[in-house]
Amino acid sequence: MKRRDLLKSGLVGLGGVAAASTLSAPAIAKGRMEINMVSTWPRDFPGLGTGAQRFAKRLTDMSDGRIEVNYFAGGEPLMLGADYYRSVMAIQEKHCADTSLRIEHAMQSNLTLFTEDFVEIFRKMGIGQIGTSFDPEPHMRGGGADIDSELYNRKFFRGFNLAGRHGFMAGIIYVVTKKSITRAMDVFYYLTNLKLKGEFNMNPVLIYDEERQHIALSPEEYVEFLGEIFPVWWEHRDRYPDLEPFRSLVNTIINGQVSLGCVDSGNCAFNHINVGPDGETSQCGRSADWNILPYGNIHDHSIADILADEQRSLLMNRNDVLINGECSDCRFWSICHGGCPLDAWSKHKDFMHKTEWCYARKGFIEKYFETITGVRFTPGPCNEVKSR
């Protein structure tokens, strides 16, 4: 089988999305038109991405809300439709019959797009959980000048409830912003009252443009947000769902079961590949967004060649630079490793620095985790990294 043939046949659905920004056929009801606008660029991508977002907003504003444009950035897998995933499985069954047990599928997308059409094919793919973002705060997600969050939430819960009825777990990713730091417990109770079958994550917002600095928060503010919630979660942790980053810290510090995400593992150099819609590869989704760490086109390079690209040694050498420099006296090195290299690059344009978000991990553990649990983190032989 030729890689080029596989990519051509496997990305038929994606090819339609890759053509810059496109508008779907509108849904019209009572004089109001609703249009989905699909972009190949990530949300807030400078120039092309932000231009598409502004166009969508202006079209809604100029029509006084009669035309509502739902903007979907690149990276919304459910926009491809169920037929795309059927073609993926057909290719897998044809070409990977002997290795299918080594292939796992995962899904993270916007649940407003989930329909009955995905149920059967997702089950066939072995997908049991759908990761999705959700914001309880008003006017954080939605269409129109006022960001109609009520309409957005109705669509979200329609997809959320549909997924639940068919046995799919929903893993919620909640992004902590400046707007939410004074309402930590409100957010916590809201999300736990959803009775999630999966876990939920509370991740800090990462803002790289000036337009949305009003929702940016500092590592110190993120620590205080987590610190308000942690005592309640810790006391009733058997009742509440798994919540990150709390659960992984309990497993790592108390249970001695170290399982670190790519951000903290210091081990991402040789086990990640991002493949774009045109076959261009890079380290990860963020590196592709920023056009750094390109590894060539998968049509022209084998996976072995891509994994052996000499640029990857930069990421591996970063560990030696940091442990002998900025992180030399940090007792949390084995569970942090200076944070994500991409975060370091965004601030310094250089991978060889720790990130400002190192404080979030260190500060939360020292100020809240160790104080409340009574367990002090002591690095030792058990802290061997196992990426997840």
Q: What is the pTM of this model?
A: 0.78
Find out whether 137 and 181 touch, Cβ atoms under 8 Å.
Answer: no
pLDDT digits 0-9 by tens, 226-262: 999 999 999 999 888 889 999 999 999 999 888 788 8
Helix (H) or strand (E) holding 15: helix 12-17
Backbone angles phi, psi at 75, to 5 degrees: 100, 20
Q: For position 6, what pLDDT does the model report?
A: 37
DSSP strand pairing (169-176 vs 67-72): unpaired
Query: What confidence tier does 195 reach under pLDDT thresholds 50, 70, 90?
Result: confident
Q: 220-238 as b/e, with b when 16 or more CB fall inside 10 Å?
A: ebbbbbbbbbbeebeeeee
What average pLDDT score do residues 211-237 get?
93
Residue 21 and residue 42 in contact, taking contact as beta carbons nearer than 8 Å: no
Q: Report which of 103, 269, 11 is spatially closest to residue 3, judged by C-alpha positions.
A: 11
pLDDT (mean) for 46-50: 54
**Contact in structure between 277 and 17 (CB atoms under 8 Å):** yes
Q: Which of 72-86, 150-164, 176-190, 347-361 has the lowest mean pLDDT?
A: 72-86
The CB density around residue 321, as the number of other CB atoms within 10 Å, is 16
Q: For residue 370, what pLDDT band results from cuts at 50, 70 and 90?
A: very high
pLDDT at res. 147:
75
Greater model confidence, 311 or 65: 311
CA distance 202 to 230: 12
Span between the terminal Cα atoms of the chain, in Å: 30
> 139 is written with which tokens?
């006017």
Find, among 13, 167, 155, 189, the residue nearest to 85 by Cα.
13
Give the single-character DSSP code of 266.
Answer: S
CA distance 361 to 363: 6
In this structure, of 4-8, 226-230, 324-328, 351-355, the range with the lowest mean pLDDT score is 4-8
Q: Per 3-state DSSP, what percentage of the chain is helix, strand, and coil (rounded to 5)? A: 45, 15, 40
Strands 32-39 and 27-29 come out as antiparallel
